[in-house]
Amino acid sequence: MIIQLEKNIAASQKEKLQEKLQSINYEGNEVNTQFGNYIVAVGKKDFDIRSIGTMEGIKDIHKVSDPYKLVSKKWKVKDTVIDLGDDVKIGTGHFPIMAGPCSIESEEQIESTINHLVENGIKIMRGGVYKPRSSPYAFRGLGMDGLKLWYEQAKAAGLKIITEVMMVEQIEAMADYVDIFQVGARNSQNFNLLDALGEVDKPVLLKRGISGTIDELLQAAEYIFSNGNEKIMLCERGIRSYENAYRNCFDINAIAILKEKTHLPIISDPSHGIGLRQFVEPVALASIMGGADGVIMEVHQSPEKAFSDGQQTLSYKQATKTYEKIRRTYKLREEFKLI
Amino acid sequence: MIIQLEKNIAASQKEKLQEKLQSINYEGNEVNTQFGNYIVAVGKKDFDIRSIGTMEGIKDIHKVSDPYKLVSKKWKVKDTVIDLGDDVKIGTGHFPIMAGPCSIESEEQIESTINHLVENGIKIMRGGVYKPRSSPYAFRGLGMDGLKLWYEQAKAAGLKIITEVMMVEQIEAMADYVDIFQVGARNSQNFNLLDALGEVDKPVLLKRGISGTIDELLQAAEYIFSNGNEKIMLCERGIRSYENAYRNCFDINAIAILKEKTHLPIISDPSHGIGLRQFVEPVALASIMGGADGVIMEVHQSPEKAFSDGQQTLSYKQATKTYEKIRRTYKLREEFKLI
Amino acid sequence: MIIQLEKNIAASQKEKLQEKLQSINYEGNEVNTQFGNYIVAVGKKDFDIRSIGTMEGIKDIHKVSDPYKLVSKKWKVKDTVIDLGDDVKIGTGHFPIMAGPCSIESEEQIESTINHLVENGIKIMRGGVYKPRSSPYAFRGLGMDGLKLWYEQAKAAGLKIITEVMMVEQIEAMADYVDIFQVGARNSQNFNLLDALGEVDKPVLLKRGISGTIDELLQAAEYIFSNGNEKIMLCERGIRSYENAYRNCFDINAIAILKEKTHLPIISDPSHGIGLRQFVEPVALASIMGGADGVIMEVHQSPEKAFSDGQQTLSYKQATKTYEKIRRTYKLREEFKLI
Amino acid sequence: MIIQLEKNIAASQKEKLQEKLQSINYEGNEVNTQFGNYIVAVGKKDFDIRSIGTMEGIKDIHKVSDPYKLVSKKWKVKDTVIDLGDDVKIGTGHFPIMAGPCSIESEEQIESTINHLVENGIKIMRGGVYKPRSSPYAFRGLGMDGLKLWYEQAKAAGLKIITEVMMVEQIEAMADYVDIFQVGARNSQNFNLLDALGEVDKPVLLKRGISGTIDELLQAAEYIFSNGNEKIMLCERGIRSYENAYRNCFDINAIAILKEKTHLPIISDPSHGIGLRQFVEPVALASIMGGADGVIMEVHQSPEKAFSDGQQTLSYKQATKTYEKIRRTYKLREEFKLI
């Protein structure tokens, strides 16, 4: 049950509300975000919500039977649109492409990527400075130095930055240089990290776990929201399956289902979703028809020389064609709304 | 290694060829189809194929390192197009929609479906008369009686029939009333059935196994081809995964990869691919952008009353909109070839 | 609902029973096996079963809410024991080891295997004469000739034969030479084959599907039972997973759960269950502690020369040690019943 | 390649070694643990290791082709035994049982558990004070207060404590009250946490990821080892599969394979491995025959009232019987070494 509070609700009214909830054996979790104040009440007993809805200081009240609450479409029917400033928006009615290398490697590489993105009218650049790697001996990213270098150039070019954060301690230092924090598949249920990202007023792109369920993803997002941050987007990036012909199994079904279950934007990651360069385009286009609100993909000036993920990275030339097809496919999907 | 033979190759030349193969420890499997005569030679030793290619009676010779041979694109670069007659074709350059109920239920239902299909310009009707069911106590289909009833009406309306065959003994009786034999997911590796379908000159739609790999699907198709029947199409219908939010996990990646590996047409089955009515459309459209050569889907005049699979079946009204979107999406994909 | 009939129930009483069932919208499926006569009634309405139980000619009546009925432990609490004659039994209180090569290859190989088995006190020999192979170009078994050859020697040595049947047409010819029909993983839901095996009075070992669920396995067994054959044993042989360190993922959990759900004996197949020779023994022993009623495993005089599955096949020397450990582990498990 | 250094190797000799490695394009990672000093050299070129092995200050050198190095059995053939003091050891030749509740709930519960464990001769108590929960609204543990309370009582009773750590910041505060740090399945690839645990001289039990591969688990352990901590044990706790009859699919194969690949002790967690109370015992016993070096399991005075995981938790009465069977099964397995 989600109880939306009036901004100016009196402390005494809140107390009354909590007492009321206790009396019916509900636990009331107070949630204050950039945009609203809520009590998420969790309990078992069925009762007439009007007895609460009519209390003073209550704006609205909704029953939400899902295990996730605040991220559910059952109470917030209007889709979330995240505004990054400078007219860059993510959510229904917009279709951002985020592109860039797997890893930030050098000043020269940053410059080259930015030129490519600007030429193609892309506003959000992806890149990793902290890299989760299976092996401790692999390249683990340029860290804060790389991020600062990147930030300067991106800012000058008017580009927004999305990059992965791996641990709570990194958040504060990174926050000034990042427009979207990315949580990787391996950290999809790193609950302390999610808690901490809930306390920052920065958009978060949350990837589905390596074998995460749709429900787990939504509950992970609930961690961020319930700690105070409503600016969340979810990302389908393929799941683990028995099939060895590709890296991950892009779950096209999940996009359609997520669009029904949540008001949050859904971004597709076709690069990880199939893991093979020559098939990134069809998966990207498919994900749009499946309902995605945006795409994040890997490009590199020389994919075969990339520090990581080269086999799933597009060259600029390939990518340029793909961007055009993405935009035309999105346009057609928008036209379908009229049928 | 695939050795294509001249139509008029002399018996003595064939013998010589087999001797040559034996001399290098290759086993030569003779394959005679509607369209060609081949020797599929399997062995380990590497050798100069020109020593065979220049023998008399040999039209062409190709090394194929895949575990499947005749269905591989490595030797037959040109995509297979299956001609059902009456200008109904399946394969690159065509985009057939196959639609109909899960089970054939009654004369009235057949009639109603046919009207719906004809109105929408659809040429191939699907429907089951032999139904594989998990439980022995469930409805198992109307059998030959149902098929004959259906055939008469479909023929009159100019529709082609696709229906599932479950066992070798059914093939002969069914053959006169069927335009495409469907092999279901549970029979995807029923090798005797595949062998027998290789001996019939009827197109076969072969579904991927419940947890079949892409390679297993291609090798299963190889059974049909190597027994004499080149008219094969493959069908992606979702695989089994850990996710419970849907029935099957539609493997969009598989379509892109299959299009690269084989010259056979790839049909997508979004109905089974997600198993939930309200999401069949996005999955269908996604599969087109993923590269599918056609779609097979379930429609019913009253899905909620269907004998089987009702929850994944579209009503006529829904389906009519979906057909239009399918056609426009396919059109856009074709335009992309020019970019 | 399972209604056990008296052997001598009058036709008129049966009719009355069916009328009664119809009156409450239940479908009554008549099942006559080697051991009993039953009506399996399937319907939705809840009602007092005593109204049927007290009818004449009714021996007993049980509600079974599972999707499978006759194979459920809910009505038949006493475990099934299958008697192969000559004091060879399968089921609680007995622990048969079935061993032999993957494929029957030659007279000499049969002889060698038989000697090995007899020396080790093993009574049931496994071996394939019809082999399901992913590729049509692989060795597909010696067929009936091989089976007859084998039968003669096995009979002389007092051994029972278990071998795979792949299609309905093979059953009749094979029946005289076989003590247990094996249904392979790929045919686990080949419903026509299951139907046909229900009509034979021969024990059937039914393997779980490549990615079969426990419920699907039990329902597949229900096909056999409901067609008239109660002599069924189930086999856990590993399932498909994302892990590539082994061939299949032996599902130890399934054994414990099957033992609770069904009265049928559960056989474990550690050879396929892990697919790597050096680990067959620990998996075999584990399966006993997990609750298995017997083991089926692959042995060969020279595993590295075996026509198929060599990598998971034990040598005689290895196997001899494993048999001893199997027997001692089983003995300990039996002692545990007293704790 | 693992280069073991002499304790007293001169700085100049180390420098020479690094130069040598650079000259052949190898990266030399210096690793200093409680027990040894190593250079883990990663590169591609093949060369004669004797050219390094004969340098001064080098104790030994081994090629290790696995993606994991220091945890591989290829260089350290002798199994690791972890000494917790007070004669409590983990590793080949010992078989520790670790038992206790899922969550530490109260002083009374701690006391009750300790009495049960002491009566049964169990030396290591498990329990969670920081709980990773799918939902942010679920009970998340008593935290440090709970841990201190527990520590006092456990210490008095002579019990060792194993408990989960979820984030880097918790390590320092917890270290004084913990005998074994547990890393949960969701943090199995939380690389920063693994790094930090490498810097502590406390044993770590590392659980396999929800869908972790065996290789990923070993590489995760490599993070801990390469940061300086050799006291690592691995834990099989079931993987995610398509089967819904149980919570997780206990991977018995993984135990056998891990025992071959690594020198680290392997602990089995049958409670999570099947997730259903009545089947914990057979899975526990099976895991011993599969090769496990110890068992960790959940017990509670009233499982049905446990704050978490009650459905997979044994009562004291059940557990007492299981302990006895565990010990007898282990004894038999040890006897098998003589066969």
Count of alpha carbons within 13 angstroms of residue D13, beta-carbon side: 17
Task: Find residue A268's DSSP bridge partners.
Answer: A236, A295
Q: For residues B76 and A111, what is the distance between their CA atoms, to the nearest angstrom?
A: 44
Q: Is the pLDDT of residue C105 over 90?
A: yes
Mean pLDDT of chain C: 96
3 state DSSP class of C101: coil
- C213 near D CB under 8 A: yes
Q: For residues B140 and B157, what is the distance between their CA atoms, to the nearest angstrom?
A: 26
- CA geometry: angle at C235 spanning C232 and C240, to 5°? 140
Are C191 and B68 in contact (CB < 8 Å)? no
Residues of D in contact with C256 (CB under 8 A): 274, 279, 282-283
Instruction: Quote the DSSP letter at residue D187.
Output: G
Q: Is the pLDDT of residue D49 over 90?
A: no
pLDDT digits (tens, 9 = 90+) for D112-141: 999 999 999 999 999 999 999 999 999 899
Best mutation site among D167, D168, D223 for testing chain A: the one with the most A CBs within 10 Å? Answer: D167
Residues of B in contact with C40 (CB under 8 A): 137
In this structure, the answer to whether residues C182 and C322 fall within a common structural domain is yes
Q: Kindly give the pairing relationship between strand C97-100 and strand C124-126.
A: parallel
Q: Considering only residues 223 to 242 of chain B, which have any Cβ-Cβ distance to chain D shorter than 8 Å? A: 240-242
Q: Is the pLDDT of residue B266 over 90?
A: yes
In this structure, the answer to whether residues C86 and C46 fall within a common structural domain is no
Nearest CA in chain C to D216: C243
pLDDT above 90: percentage of residues in chain D: 94
Nearest CA in chain C to A242: C242
Are A168 and D168 in contact (CB < 8 Å)? yes
- A317 near D CB under 8 A: no
Number of H helices, E strands in chain D: 11, 14
* Cβ-nearest to B286 among A252, A260, A335: A252
pLDDT of A242 = 97
Q: How distant is the Cα of B240 from the closest Cα of chain C, in angstroms?
A: 8
Structure tokens at C256: 């414990």
Best mutation site among C234, C248, C289 for testing chain D: the one with the most D CBs within 10 Å? Answer: C289
Task: Find residue B233's DSSP bridge partners.
Answer: B205
- C322 near B CB under 8 A: no
Confidence of residue C332 (pLDDT cuts 50, 70, 90): very high
Confidence of residue A170 (pLDDT cuts 50, 70, 90): very high
Q: For residues D96 and B55, what is the distance between their CA atoms, to the nearest angstrom?
A: 72
Q: Kindly give the pairing relationship between strand A58-62 and strand A2-5.
A: antiparallel
pLDDT of C236 = 98
Residues of B in contact with A245 (CB under 8 A): 213-215, 253-254, 257
Are D211 and B244 in contact (CB < 8 Å)? no
Residues of B in contact with A253 (CB under 8 A): 238, 243, 245-246, 249-250, 273-274, 279, 283
Are D222 and A192 in contact (CB < 8 Å)? no
Nearest CA in chain B to C29: B137
Nearest CA in chain A to C248: A242
What is the widest separation between alpha-carbon atoms in chain B?
A: 65
Cα-Cα-Cα-Cα torsion C26, C32, C37, C39, nearest 10 degrees, comes to 0
Q: How distant is the Cα of A22 from the closest Cα of chain B, in angstroms?
A: 33
Q: Is the pLDDT of residue D67 over 90?
A: yes
pLDDT of C45 = 81
In this structure, the answer to whether residues C150 and C284 fall within a common structural domain is yes
Segment holding A126, helix H or strand E = strand A124-126
Q: Quick one: A311 exposed, middle or buried, by C-beta within 10 A (0-12, 13-18, 19+)?
A: middle
In this structure, the answer to whether residues C148 and C18 fall within a common structural domain is no
Residue B68 within a domain: no
- C167 near B CB under 8 A: yes
Q: Is the pLDDT of residue D241 over 90?
A: yes
Residues of D in contact with A211 (CB under 8 A): 210-211, 240
pLDDT above 70: percentage of residues in chain D: 100
Nearest CA in chain B to D211: B242
Structure tokens at A56: 């003073």
Confidence of residue B44 (pLDDT cuts 50, 70, 90): confident
Are B253 and A274 in contact (CB < 8 Å)? yes
Q: For residues C214 and C220, what is the distance between their CA atoms, to the nearest angstrom?
A: 10
Q: For residues A194 and D303, what is the distance between their CA atoms, to the nearest angstrom?
A: 30
Are B136 and C226 in contact (CB < 8 Å)? yes
Q: Quick one: D244 exposed, middle or buried, by C-beta within 10 A (0-12, 13-18, 19+)?
A: exposed
In this structure, the answer to whether residues D124 and D15 fall within a common structural domain is no
Residues of B in contact with D211 (CB under 8 A): 242
Average pLDDT over residues C73-96: 96
* Cβ-nearest to D136 among A167, A187, A226: A226
A vs B: CB pairs below 8 A: 134
Q: How far is CA A306 from the centre of its chain?
A: 25
Q: For residues A278 and A288, what is the distance between their CA atoms, to the nearest angstrom?
A: 18
pLDDT above 90: percentage of residues in chain C: 94
Please give, one letter per residue, the 3-state secondary structure of A188-255.
Answer: CCCHHHHHHHHCCCCCEEEECCCCCCHHHHHHHHHHHHHCCCCCEEEEECCECCCCCCCCCECEHHHH
3 state DSSP class of D61: strand
- Are the beta carbons of D110 and D117 closer than 8 angstroms? no
Task: Mean pLDDT check: name the lowest of B148-157, B286-295, D279-288, D303-312.
Answer: D303-312
pLDDT digits (tens, 9 = 90+) for C10-33: 999 999 999 999 999 999 999 999
Residue D95 dihedral angles phi and psi, to the nearest 5°: -140, 80
3 state DSSP class of D62: strand
Q: For residues C210 and C248, what is the distance between their CA atoms, to the nearest angstrom?
A: 9
Confidence of residue A74 (pLDDT cuts 50, 70, 90): very high
> What CATH number is given to the structural domain containing D33?
3.30.70.1140
pLDDT of D269 = 98
Counted residue by residue, chain A has a size of: 339
pLDDT of C46 = 82
Q: What contacts B168, CB < 8 A, 6 or more positions away? A: B192, B193, B196, C167, C168, C169
In this structure, the answer to whether residues B91 and B55 fall within a common structural domain is no
Best mutation site among C68, C239, C253 for testing chain D: the one with the most D CBs within 10 Å? Answer: C253
Q: For residues D36 and A270, what is the distance between their CA atoms, to the nearest angstrom?
A: 44
C-alpha distances out from residue B231 to A48, B62, B146, Å: 63, 21, 25
Secondary-structure breakdown of chain D: helix, strand, coil percentages, each rounded to the nearest 5: 40, 20, 40
Residues of C in contact with A251 (CB under 8 A): none
Segment holding D192, helix H or strand E = helix D191-198
In this structure, the answer to whether residues A241 and A285 fall within a common structural domain is yes
Residues of B in contact with C167 (CB under 8 A): 167-168, 192-193
In this structure, the answer to whether residues D302 and D188 fall within a common structural domain is yes
Task: Find residue C98's DSSP bridge partners.
Answer: C124, C296
- Are the beta carbons of B139 and B111 closer than 8 angstroms? no
Q: With a threshold of 0.90, does the pTM exceed it?
A: yes
- CA geometry: angle at A256 spanning A251 and A261, to 5°? 115
In this structure, the answer to whether residues C7 and C138 fall within a common structural domain is no
Task: Find residue C164's DSSP bridge partners.
Answer: C182
- Are the beta carbons of C134 and C111 closer than 8 angstroms? no
Mean pLDDT of chain A: 96
In this structure, the answer to whether residues A180 and A36 fall within a common structural domain is no
Mean pLDDT of chain D: 96
Strand order through the sheet with A37-42: A27-32, A37-42, A2-5, A58-62
Domain that holds residue C6: 2-62
Q: How distant is the Cα of D124 from the closest Cα of chain C, in angstroms?
A: 24
C vs D: CB pairs below 8 A: 132
pLDDT digits (tens, 9 = 90+) for C223-252: 999 999 999 999 999 999 999 999 999 999
pLDDT digits (tens, 9 = 90+) for C170-197: 999 999 999 999 999 999 999 999 999 9
Residue A69 within a domain: no
In this structure, the answer to whether residues B137 and B88 fall within a common structural domain is yes
pLDDT of C144 = 97
- How many other CB atoms sit within 10 Å of the CB of residue B306? 20
pLDDT of B52 = 92
Average pLDDT over residues A16-27: 94
pLDDT of B237 = 98
- Are the beta carbons of B77 and B24 closer than 8 angstroms? no
Residues of C in contact with D250 (CB under 8 A): 252-253
Average pLDDT over residues B287-298: 98
3 state DSSP class of D36: coil
Q: How distant is the Cα of C244 from the closest Cα of chain A, in angstroms?
A: 8
In this structure, the answer to whether residues C207 and C273 fall within a common structural domain is yes
Average pLDDT over residues B82-90: 97
Q: Considering only residues 47 to 106 of chain B, which have any Cβ-Cβ distance to chain A shorter than 8 Å? A: none
Residue A44 within a domain: yes
Counted residue by residue, chain D has a size of: 339
Check residue C25 and give left, alpha or beta (phi > 0: left; psi -120 to 50: alpha). left
- C133 near B CB under 8 A: yes
Q: What ipTM score was computed for the predicted complex, to two decimals? A: 0.96
Confidence of residue B339 (pLDDT cuts 50, 70, 90): confident
pLDDT digits (tens, 9 = 90+) for A111-126: 999 999 999 999 999 9
- B244 near D CB under 8 A: yes
Residue A56 within a domain: yes
Helix axes D214-226, D191-198, angle to 10 degrees: 40
Are C286 and D290 in contact (CB < 8 Å)? yes
Average pLDDT over residues C56-63: 94
Average pLDDT over residues B85-93: 97
pLDDT digits (tens, 9 = 90+) for D134-171: 999 998 999 999 999 999 999 999 999 999 999 999 99
pLDDT digits (tens, 9 = 90+) for C138-164: 989 999 999 999 999 999 999 999 999
> What CATH number is given to the structural domain containing A165?
3.20.20.70
- Are the beta carbons of C61 and C49 closer than 8 angstroms? yes
Structure tokens at D148: 């201190």
Check residue B228 and give left, alpha or beta (phi > 0: left; psi -120 to 50: alpha). left
How many domains are contained in chain B?
2
pLDDT of B261 = 98
Q: Is the pLDDT of residue C49 over 90?
A: no
pLDDT of C209 = 97
Residue B310 within a domain: yes
Residue B70 within a domain: no
Q: How distant is the Cα of B219 from the closest Cα of chain D, in angstroms?
A: 25
* Cβ-nearest to A256 among B256, B257, B283: B283
Q: Which of B86, B100, B74 is nearest to B161 (CA)?
A: B100
Subunits close to A (at least 3 CB pairs below 8 A): B, C, D
- D118 near C CB under 8 A: no
Q: For residues A171 and A192, what is the distance between their CA atoms, to the nearest angstrom?
A: 12
pLDDT of D275 = 97
Residue B134 within a domain: yes
pLDDT above 70: percentage of residues in chain C: 100
Residue C46 within a domain: yes
Q: How far is CA B193 from the centre of its chain?
A: 14
Confidence of residue B288 (pLDDT cuts 50, 70, 90): very high
Residues of A in contact with B249 (CB under 8 A): 239, 241, 249, 251, 253
Nearest CA in chain A to D70: A136
* Cβ-nearest to A240 among C211, C240, C242: C242
Residues of B in contact with C137 (CB under 8 A): 27, 29, 40, 42, 69, 226
Residue D299 dihedral angles phi and psi, to the nearest 5°: -130, 155
Q: For residues A32 and A47, what is the distance between their CA atoms, to the nearest angstrom?
A: 25
pLDDT of C47 = 82
